[in-house]
Each structure stands twice: as C-alpha cells, then as structure tokens.
Amino acid sequence: MKRSTRLLVAIILVLLLAVVSVSVWAAPGRQGSVPVPPRTYPGEIGEEINIGIGTVSTEGTSGRVNVKLIKDPSKKFGPATHGIYLLNYAIDVKVVQGSVNSVEVCVPLNPDWADKEMGPEIQWYLWDSDAEAWVDVETSIKEGVPPMICGTSDQAGVFSLQGQ
C-alpha cells in the first residue's frame, strides 16, 4: 500500500471512530472483588413472603422466618435425586423466632413442565441433613395466573424442586 493511501485510510478510520465514540464504559450494577452478599427474605410466620422466584408461606406460632436462596444446589448438596434440579436455586426456610407447623414453597409452573407427572418427573424435596439426602414432600399444582407448583412440609428446611 502506498504511503498516501495508508495515511488516507488511517484518517478515515479515525474519523469513523470519532463519530461512534462515547466517553462512557457500560457497566451493569454494583460489582467488586468481594461479591455482593446473597439476598435474604425475612418475614413473619403466617404471612406470604415474596422471594422473587416464587413465594413462601408458613403457619405456626407468632414469630419470624428468614428465607435464603442457595444458588447452584448441586454444588452444595450433590446430584439431584432423580435427574436434575429444575430450579437453579434451593430455598432455605429458617425459623428465627417461634415455631412452624406448615411450610409451603411455591414457584410458577414452567410451561415445559406442564406435561410432567408428579413424582420422579417433577417433585419438591426437603434436605435431610442427618441422612444427607433429599426427602420428597407433598407436591401439588395450584391453579391461577400463572399456575404454581407447590411443596408442603410440616417443618422448615431447605426445599428443592427436582425432576427429569
């Protein structure tokens, strides 16, 4: 390439850069070397707590619960009982004060799960820390907009939706 051609190409490229350039570096949200603390969802026993990906309802004596989302449950608890974790989170319901006799965890029913049968194909589980295994809990579908798939247990703990 001749010198004059090279110079012309360089000038044109620089002009093009000047047209599109901005002095801002797009940066989504707060970040740092220290990760953002995971969100927790405190609430009263007896009320429905919105946890973003669904709801948690409790019944029992008056008191408080705290709900935490555990990302990537397979890393913390090992492989799912029958196949895969259908949610990328396990839901930890912890009683801070008082006691509960019923805990219901619900998430919207994904259309991809609509044809699945309750049981191995789609099922809520509760983590048994002594046995270090998932124990299945009562699972049902609540009609509504959207329909919700709910797991119910008489105790608090870590809930996980699993299936095939």
Partner 1 sequence: MSDKNQGKNKFSLVLVLIQKSSIRKPLTLLTLFFILGLAYGLTLAPGLTWANNGADGGDLITAAATNGVAHPSGYPLYLLLAELFQRIPVGTLAFRTNIMSAIFTMMAAALIFLFLEQWLDSSLSALVSALAFGLSPLVWSQAVITEVYALHALLTTGIICVFLAPVRKPLLYLGQGILFGLAVGNHLTTLLLSPLVLLIQLEDKEGDRIPQDVLRKIILPIAFRFLGVLIGLLVYVVLPLRASAWPPVNWGNPVTLDSFFWLVSAQIYQEFALSLSVLETIQRFQGLAGLLFHQFTFIGLILGLYGLFSNTSSAARLSTIWVFVSFNLFAIFYAYADSFVYVIPASISFSMWIGIGLHDLLAVVSSRRNRIRSALLLALLAGIIVRSLWILPEVDASKDQRAEIFGEKLLASAPKDAIVVTDTDEETFALWYFHYALRQRPDLMVISEGLLQFDWYYQTLQETYPGLVIPEYESFTTAQEVVDANPSNPVCFATYQGVDVLVCDETILSDSDATYHDSLSIIP
Per-residue contact track with partner 1, 89 to 118, x per CB under 8 A? -x-x-x-x----------------------
Span interacting with partner 1, options 13-21, 47-55, 98-106, 133-141, rule CB under 8 A: 13-21
Span interacting with partner 1, options 36-44, 53-61, 101-109, 142-150, rule CB under 8 A: 36-44
- One residue of 47, 76, 99, 142 binding partner 1 per CB under 8 A: 76
- One residue of 9, 53, 84, 133 binding partner 1 per CB under 8 A: 9
Q: Are 48 and 57 in contact (CB under 8 A)?
A: yes
Q: Which of 51, 49, 91, 45 is nearest to 64 (CA)?
A: 45
Is residue 20 close enough to count as binding partner 1 by CB under 8 A? yes
Q: Which residue has the tokens 């797009």?
A: 26
**Local structure of 11: helix, strand or coil:** helix
Neighbours of 108 (CB within 10 A): 15
Q: Are 94 and 67 in contact (CB under 8 A)?
A: yes
Contacting residues toward partner 1, per CB under 8 A: 1, 3, 6-7, 9-11, 13-14, 17-18, 20-28, 30-40, 42, 64, 66, 68-70, 76, 90, 92, 94, 96, 127, 129, 157-158
